[in-house]
Amino acid sequence: MTETGPSRYALRMKGIDIRFGGVQALSSVDFDVRAGEVHCLAGENGSGKSTLIKIVTGVYRPDNAALIELFENPVEAISPVQARARGVAVIWQDLALFPNMSVAENIAFDGLVGLRPRGVRYGDMKLRARAALERLGVTLDLDQPLENLAIAQRQIVAIARALIQDARLIFMDEPTASLTQSETDHLLNIVRKLSSDGVAVVFVSHRLAEVLEIAERVTVLRDGKLVGVYPTEGMTQARLGELMTGHILEYKVTARDMSAAPILFEARGLSVPGQFEGVDLTIRAGEVVGLVGLIGAGRTELAHAMMGMTGTAAGSMQLDGRPYRPRNIREAIAQGLAYVSEDRLQLGLLQKQSIEDNAAISVLDRLLGGLGLISPAKKTDLIMGWVSKLGIKIGLPADAISTLSGGNQQKVVLAKWLATEPKLLILDSPTVGVDVGARAGIFRIVRDLAERGLAILLISDEESEAIYNSDRVLHMARGRIAGAFDPRTTSPVDLEAAIHA
């Protein structure tokens, strides 16, 4: 850490209280970040991390006369615009980008907004956008509409937009959730450079390994209260997980020998030009097959082909020993496949709809009453049944899905697909943006489903996640299956080395 200028602290907060209705979101929380420090804000979803950030950025005001200082200057009433003007920037987990605008326009957006209409100098805009991307070590087509980019590339655009501002305090909320390891390494190097330049960075991530790698201190919140502030030197992932959740989390291999189980799904020579080629894949009933690889290797594209989402694919597929060739996703669902997308916010959920509507949308035909209308009682029974089975924490079924934490939203997505009674469940990066405690809960559900005979294809960007939760792990590279690994004899480090070889 390098301290520059007169400020010792970029941020100091003492005794922060805030209540929403009957819920005490934060209670007597203290938080400080030193100038030039990389600081981690850790806690499960719902612990108060986002609320604390929104107080710093002027979205919320604390209930009490708390102490808040930005760069050692007292702050009382502040708006988000004023917070940005004082040097505070936030990269939110939901990105807040504009899909119909170009990459350059998204990156330079803040500079395009003003009180008076004026012409846009596209040449200058592109120069600024290109410079921001160069700091990330990434090259993107600046004229490309954002909606054409993969999730990882959109995340990079969001990060570049934050870096284009002259910020002295940057909050990064799950910035690496959709990045490959090499892209994550680029970002962590940028964070180190910002720190050496005197910029304070608050890193919020559920990937505990990178938290311990990049941060100097970690502040842990649990249930809206301060657990403590700890140096990361000497801290372990297991201990940090225990501080966040209040109980010990086990990390162990759960692989089983499934070679005697009947084959449920089989692909031979499956190919989609420009996406993947010659893929042979076997998944047995009750087996969890992990699929790892760098973003762009063809993993998600393979899942889309299995779901009938990419049109005609060369090669053959069989399901339960019979030819399987879905022409669209409806046919795939009807024949017993289900797909949990990597993009929960955009593709997995209807953000403006209720919890029960999201859970029921895949099986509306089963909820019809005598007059051909949806039966409210059947819909409520459906959601409450899955709330009980999956341990989903909700208020009322009619509450908006946005009221739930990331982990509970993901469980609703699972409920939506499990309600179709699938034979094969494809999970595409199911723990993106999900905290350590909720991850453990999701994989307990996955193991239970597999024990009951459900075949599962687990696509993951995290080597440890695949090793600990799969019976067999396949490595996909450049559109082909490049290797197979037994989790009982392969460590996460070994698998990482193979992926990045």
Rounded Cα gap, residues 399 and 357, in angstroms? 10
Give me the CATH topology for the region 9-245: Rossmann fold (3.40.50)
Map out the domains of the chain as residue ranges.
9-245, 250-336+422-501, 350-421
Report whether pLDDT(5) > 50. no
Q: At what angle do helices 122-136 and 181-196 cross, to 10 degrees?
A: 100
Please list the residues that pair with 220 across neighbouring strands: 42, 228
Q: Which token pair is 361?
A: 């949308």
What CATH number labels 250-336+422-501? 3.40.50.300
pTM of the model: 0.69
| Residue 369 one-letter amino acid | G
Q: Which token pair is 221?
A: 């919140």
Strands (E), 48-166: 67-70, 73-74, 88-91
Rounded Cα gap, residues 153 and 36, in angstroms? 27
pLDDT tens-place string over residues 19-30: 887 778 999 999
- Those residues whose C-beta lies under 8 Å from the C-beta of residue 287, and which sit 6 or more positions away, are 258, 261, 264, 450, 455, 456, 471, 472
Q: How many CB atoms lie within 10 A of CB 184?
A: 21
SS3 label, residue 130: helix
Report whether pLDDT(1) > 60. no
SS3 label, residue 120: coil
Highest mean pLDDT among 189-203, 369-383, 422-436: 189-203
For residue 298, what are the CA distances in angstroms to 185, 278, 403, 482?
21, 12, 34, 12
What letter does residue 145 receive in the DSSP assignment? B
Rg (CA), the chain: 24
What are the residue ranges of helices labelled H in 224-328? 237-245, 299-306
Residue 345's pLDDT is: 58
Cα–Cα nearest to 383, from 367, 372, 369, 407:
367
395 band by pLDDT with thresholds 50, 70 and 90: confident
390 band by pLDDT with thresholds 50, 70 and 90: confident
Report whether pLDDT(119) > 90. no
pLDDT tens-place string over residues 57-101: 999 988 877 889 999 888 877 888 888 888 898 888 777 888 999
What letter does residue 402 receive in the DSSP assignment? G
Note whether 9-245 and 250-336+422-501 share their fold: yes
Residue 392's pLDDT is: 78
pLDDT tens-place string over residues 179-231: 766 777 878 888 898 898 888 999 998 788 888 999 999 999 998 999 999 99
Strands 472-477 and 288-292: parallel
Report whether pLDDT(451) > 50. yes
Q: At what angle do helices 151-163 and 181-196 cross, to 10 degrees?
A: 10
> Following DSSP, what letter does each residue of 147-182 receive, concatenated?
GGS-HHHHHHHHHHHHHTS--SEEEEESTTTT--HH
- Those residues whose C-beta lies under 8 Å from the C-beta of residue 265, and which sit 6 or more positions away, are 281, 282, 283, 306, 317, 318, 319, 324, 424, 455
346 band by pLDDT with thresholds 50, 70 and 90: low
118 band by pLDDT with thresholds 50, 70 and 90: low
